[in-house]
Amino acid sequence: MEHIAMTVAGSDSGGGAGIQADIKTFAALGVYGASVVTALTAQNTCQVAGVHPSPPDFVALQIETVLSDIPVKAVKTGMLYSREIIEAVCEALTRNRTPNLVVDPVMIAKSGDSLLKPSAAVALKTRLIPMALVVTPNIPEACALTGIKINGVEDMKKAARAIAKMGAQNVVIKGGHMRGDKLTDILLTDGEVTEFKRDRIDTQHTHGTGCAFSSAITAGLAKGLSVIDSVETAERYIEGAIKNAEPLGEGHGPVNHFWNSL
């Protein structure tokens, strides 16, 4: 088995986001997925009713155990919840010289519930982001990380450069929270910005889009693609997953992770 990726993230009991979305995305793109559970959530399409974080030393043990045996080619992080978990993850990944790290700086659920303790933000910026090959914030996350108010694409570029100064090698900022019929995502790599434009899809079934998108990038890296090719593949994948989403639940339903096998 050649193409292997690992997700380090929280569990979504509703199945639309978190490690469930990550593993579905890996599978849909032909990549074997290993997983490290950072937290359990009681969650559905409407709310996050509760969060039970994993002990930091057990998070580290999961990482060490997987990497000691399985030849993982790329790793993504999602919900890490606390400073202690972030530090444990950073130390374990550093000890194992983990390649191709994609950091999805998960802070807020689609329902609006917080998924990152306030005290964890500094560790995210100073410990984890400097290790990242790619960082994939949405607009609210980019604003929180940089303090830059984002009202348009030029502001997105400023925020991307600010995140790159934190140490990230490449930065993708997702424009789905911007108003209008047209959406723009940007990729900052080697100081140059690439824009990805698409039409807005009129749907409320967007739960877990960030998880699926970052996992699709990770899958591309695990298959040996370049960063820009991995992002381009992820853009196509997530557009299809949103377009083909089917209603589920009373809130923000999940995307269709397996649309490409229909």
Which residues carry out catalysis? Answer: 174, 206, 208-211
Angle at 216 between CA 210 and CA 4, to 5 degrees: 130
Distance CA 105, CA 98 (A): 18
> Could you give the CA distance from residue 145 to residue 227 in angstroms, rounded to a whole number?
22
Separation CA 83–CA 116 (nearest Å): 9
Long-range contacts of 26-30 (CB under 8 A, 24+ apart): 26/215, 26/218, 26/219, 26/222, 27/257, 27/258, 28/237, 28/257, 28/258, 28/259, 28/260, 28/261, 29/216, 29/219, 29/220, 29/223, 29/233, 29/237, 30/3, 30/219, 30/223
With H, G, I as helix, E, B as strand and everything else as coil, classify residue 25.
helix
With H, G, I as helix, E, B as strand and everything else as coil, classify residue 120: helix
Cα separation of 149 and 159, whole Å?
Answer: 9
d(CA 25, CA 216): 6
Chain centre distance of CA 9: 9
How far is it, in rounded angstroms, from Cα 62 to Cα 164? 29
